[in-house]
Amino acid sequence: LAALLPAEAARASTQATAPVKTSARIVIAGGGAAGLTAANKLATQLTGATIIMVDRRKEHYYQPGFTLVAAGIKPQDYTVSQTSSYVPNGVEWLNEAVVELDPVGNKVVTDSGKRLAYDFLIVATGLELNYGAIEGMDTALIGQNGLGSIYYGPQAAADTWKALSTFADQGGIGLFGRPSGEMKCAGAPLKYTFISDDHLRRRGNRGKAELIYMAHAKSLFSVPIVAEKVRMLYQDRGVKVRHEHVLSAIDLSKKIATYKTPEGLVEQNYDFINVVPPMRAPQVVRNSPLPWTEGVWAADGWMEVDRSTLRHKRFPNVFGVGDVAGVPKGKTAASVKWQVPVAVSHLIGDITGKASSASYNGYTSCPLITRLGRAMLVEFDYQDNLITSFPGVVAPLEELWVTWVIKTMGLKPTYLTMLRGRA
């Protein structure tokens, strides 16, 4: 998320120019971070266009704040605002759900039966949390009996904090990890392990606790140098790591988690567990012609887009941005900041007949909290190159107070600026 602030991450040209006159009809499916950013960018750069954003949810969630709520650092309402606050003039917000995406017929169908014809479609539906893939999981019980799960929403984040706080008072076995496959903010499970360790230490109970991170693969993180840094920090702080463990079932009453491993199923009892569910494209996307039909992203329905332009590979008037895009990196808010201008630039290039050269290079970032008051700024691209947004100020992979300030104070205002199309 970190470089919602300037970085040498994308090659999009965003020089201010006069709005382009057009009668194009543009539909944006989804009104989260990516959809709102796209709506504001288009409203600024086009005049005369019909722009319709479709989304049922009225509340907007600042999802990067969920971890802060679950850490006891921010109140629950820190993450909640109203979608209407960010919809620009010139954009119609249709407060309905998209139930069908028809790129062959160039139309979108809503749950009320409205059929929206389009010249261009931007798919920004986000992703789906597939809790149902974990046998025995019940989201209604988050916060009870040692069960935490940050991603489910603001209330779940607050309830997770209650469960963690109880664990920090009592000690025991704490389990952490992530699912296999693509997920949003892959650093969040790592940082929540660090946060749990620090709360235990601050209450004098670290010696009463055993923290185990169940890594889904043979590495802790997709970027090798970051994985090694986290491995060293975990070793220093006594966090045990078990590789190739993926949560498949949970017995919430007995507090037993079952993991798939290369050797078969393994059970582990716990006193606290932070469940991160498998993630996939929303059903409306999975059931459309838009997903990848082969390769690593096909099974979970991620959109088949060109990794550089975010344009669909088979339907050139369709773009996919944000979490739903089937690209190697990029399920963070920082990725949205760099993806949307690229997609919009190519869409406008289609309107004007002047091809855009804008390119998204996979920029992704995560302010990785390593203890309360310290964080590392992890920024990288498709090639796993580390990127530095603040050379001379923030050193990559250093535990710094200034990075903590960026994460807890600086990013939300910049995020809101992004939503309004001004980042």
The catalytic residue positions are 185, 366
β-strand partners of 128:
280
Cα separation, 6 vs 4, in Å, equals 7
DSSP state of 130: -
**What's the burial of 201, exposed, middle or buried (CB within 10 Å: 0-12/13-18/19+)?**
middle
d(CA 309, CA 391): 27
- Residues 416, 405: Cα–Cα separation, whole Å: 17
For tokens 């090659």, what's the residue? 11
CB 105: neighbour CB atoms within 10 A?
Answer: 12
Alpha carbons 66 and 250: distance in angstroms, whole number: 23
Q: Where does residue 307 rank: exposed (0-12), middle (13-18), buried (19+ CB within 10 A)?
A: middle
Phi, psi dihedral angles at 167 (to 5 degrees): -60, -40
The residues with which 148 forms a beta bridge, in sequence order, are 274
Paired sense of beta strands 50-54 and 25-29, if any: parallel
CB atoms within 10 A of CB 295: 10
Instruction: Give SS3 for 239.
Output: coil
Structural tokens at position 131:
């809790």
Give the dihedral of Cα atoms 408, 413, 414, 416; nearest 10 deg.
Answer: 130
Check residue 135 and report its DSSP letter: B
